[in-house]
């Protein structure tokens, strides 16, 4: 094995020597900014479990972390702060930055979405959503999707209509702020509601308030014809995928043992690829060019009957 190691080292030194010689021959004014500025390494976050056994430990937790840091921690744990009680287990990152995207389970760039202006991804497995613009992630957050008996359907859907406030058809005492429907006949959409830390809805996708407001203002609704009965243009695609394991511990608590456990897996990426292919086949996702007046006025060739 020693000769192999020696060969490997000699190759590296040889490459470095060539690079060094090239730099010596290059005027300083021609050296690029990339050469002069060190590249920033990606942030690698590890996690630990923190068991808050009593009220004193909960109080200590609140004093250890700022309001922004607590907001991030509760988001990672998919739970509202007011639900925290003695005996709860939280997963906490070893590094807390000022950017929630640093803790995203979704890739910051998803090339398969490059040709789609706006995309909403909803993962049932990791109980999280992501918003992409031409394949670039700009926001993610926790969700609470449908419980075992009333799961949120998986599939490619489109934003239909929205309402600043909507009353649930299941229980008229349930108010759903910033509602955005993506399954018209089934009455399924995203909206603000409480976050218990597990799938708990009647098929809708619950969001935190700020996240619900963002989607409400950002996503596009469908465009209907003059009769209001036919869809002329689809709204923003909503891609729902992944399977939540109701028999195991919530997946984000697994981050303590495996920081990669919440990332999208190969099967989920394949599903998204199928959704993208389906999206591209639907003409209602594109503004098709309309024929100009000069095209409509062309005289048909002699001998052909005019089409009426």
The pLDDT value given to residue 168: 78
What does the alpha-carbon distance between residue 197 and residue 191 come to, in Å, rounded to a whole number? Answer: 16
Mean pLDDT of 43-56: 91
Comparing 38-52, 110-124, 157-171, 256-270, the range with the smallest average pLDDT is 38-52
pLDDT in tens, 252-262: 999 999 888 89
Closest CA to 126 of 208, 197, 47, 202: 197
| Predicted confidence (pLDDT) at residue 12 exceeds the cutoff of 50 | no
**Predicted confidence (pLDDT) per residue in 21-45, tens digit:** 444 444 444 444 444 555 566 678 8
Per the prediction, the chain carries an average pLDDT of: 85
Contact of 128 with 142, CB cutoff 8 Å: yes
pLDDT at 5 over 70: no
Structure token digits, residue 66: 């700022």
pLDDT value at residue 107? 96
Kindly report, residue by residue over 197-247, the tens digit of the pLDDT: 999 999 999 999 999 999 999 999 999 999 999 999 999 999 999 999 999
Question: 77: burial class by Cβ within 10 Å (0-12, 13-18, 19+)?
Answer: buried
Using pLDDT thresholds of 50, 70 and 90, give the confidence band for residue 172.
Answer: confident
Full-model pTM:
0.81
Length of the chain: 308
- Return the pLDDT at 102: 95
């Amino acid at each position: 094995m020693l000769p192999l190691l020696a060969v490997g080292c000699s190759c590296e030194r040889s490459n470095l020597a060539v690079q060094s010689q090239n730099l010596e021959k290059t005027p300083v004014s021609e050296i690029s900014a990339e050469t002069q500025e060190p590249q920033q390494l990606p942030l690698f976050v590890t996690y630990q479990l923190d068991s808050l056994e009593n009220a004193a430990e909960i109080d200590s937790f609140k004093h250890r972390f700022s309001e922004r840091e607590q907001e991030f921690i509760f988001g990672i744990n998919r739970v509202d702060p007011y639900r925290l009680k003695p005996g709860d287990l939280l997963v906490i990152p070893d590094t807390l930055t000022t950017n929630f995207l640093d803790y995203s389970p979704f890739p910051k760039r998803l090339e398969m979405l490059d040709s789609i202006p706006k995309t909403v991804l909803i993962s049932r497995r990791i109980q999280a959503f992501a918003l992409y613009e031409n394949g670039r992630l700009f926001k993610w957050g926790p969700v609470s999707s449908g419980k075992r008996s009333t799961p949120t359907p998986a599939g490619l859907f489109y934003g239909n209509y929205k309402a600043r406030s909507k009353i649930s058809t299941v229980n008229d005492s349930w108010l759903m702020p910033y509602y955005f429907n993506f399954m018209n006949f089934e009455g399924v959409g995203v909206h603000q509601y409480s976050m218990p830390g597990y799938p708990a809805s009647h098929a809708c996708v619950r969001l935190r308030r700020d996240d619900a407001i963002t989607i409400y203002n950002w996503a596009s609704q469908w465009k209907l014809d003059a009769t209001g009965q036919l869809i002329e243009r689809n709204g923003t695609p909503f891609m729902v995928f992944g399977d939540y394991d109701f028999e195991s511990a919530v997946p984000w608590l697994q981050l303590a043992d495996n920081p990669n456990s919440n990332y999208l897996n190969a099967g989920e990426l394949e599903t998204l690829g199928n959704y993208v292919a389906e999206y591209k086949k639907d003409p209602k996702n594109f503004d098709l060019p309309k024929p100009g007046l000069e095209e409509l006025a062309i005289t048909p060739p002699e001998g052909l009957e005019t089409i009426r």
